[in-house]
Amino acid sequence: MPRTPLYLDDLSPGQIFRGEVEFTVDEPGIKAFARQFDPQPFHLDDESAKATLFGGLAASGWHTAAITMHLLVTGGPPLAGGIIGAGMDELRWPKPVRPGDRLRIQSEVVEVRPSKSRPSQGLVKMRTTTLNQNGEPVQILLANLLVPSRQA
């Protein structure tokens, strides 16, 4: 079912959007991502990972970030024009992601700022927290997003 796009004019600080979809992380996915993008032993090998500070296989933080992007696009706030990033102020991984974790997102509008030079758009600062099945944050992202104005 198509979702109604949200424009800059529809957003205000304090708004909360709970993700509509969930993503289950699996061991083959963790290892495949790691082989291509972050080939460290704690992302690739169960036995080697046991001897690290993770104490077992853990997904790369960058894998978690990619999953978060997937969750934003498929079930996050339906921003008009798509999720267009203009940078990040914060990116943290407070807890590792493990095989079997079920991830979901929650996004909060922190700031809405219309552009003075481009009235057709503005900047939205949004904090997206990726949560596991226990409601524990595994990633916190404070992003600056370009969002079109309804008057565009």
Q: Considering the domain boundaries, does residue 3 fall inside one?
A: no
Of 152, 150, 105, 143, the closest CA to residue 123 belongs to 143
Residues 116 and 50: their CA atoms lie apart, in Å, by 53
Instruction: With 0.85 as the threshold, say if the pTM is over it.
Output: yes
Q: Considering the domain boundaries, does residue 59 fall inside one?
A: yes
- Measure the N-to-C terminal CA separation of the chain; round to a whole number of Å: 25
CA angle 12-131-71, nearest 5°?
A: 70
For residues 66-92, average pLDDT: 97
Phi, psi of 53 (to 5 degrees): -65, -20
Q: Considering the domain boundaries, does residue 48 fall inside one?
A: yes
Q: Considering the domain boundaries, does residue 2 fall inside one?
A: no
Which range of residues forms the domain containing residue 97? 8-148
Q: Kindly report the number of other CB atoms within 10 A of residue 77's CB atom.
A: 25
Q: Where are the alpha helices (DSSP H) in the chain?
A: 27-37, 41-44, 46-50, 61-75
For the chain, what is the domain count?
Answer: 1
Question: Is the pLDDT score of 90 beyond 70?
Answer: yes
**Angle in degrees, 0-180, between the axes of helices 61-75 and 27-37, rounded to the nearest 10:** 110
For residues 61-75, average pLDDT: 98
Residues 97 and 49: their CA atoms lie apart, in Å, by 13
Q: Considering the domain boundaries, does residue 87 fall inside one?
A: yes
Residues 6+ apart with CB under 8 A from 48: 41, 42
Condensed to tens digits (0 to 9), the pLDDT of residues 106-140 reads 999 999 999 999 999 999 999 999 999 999 999 99
Q: What is the CATH number of the domain that holds 125?
A: 3.10.129.10
Confidence of residue 152 (pLDDT cuts 50, 70, 90): low
Q: Considering the domain boundaries, does residue 122 fall inside one?
A: yes
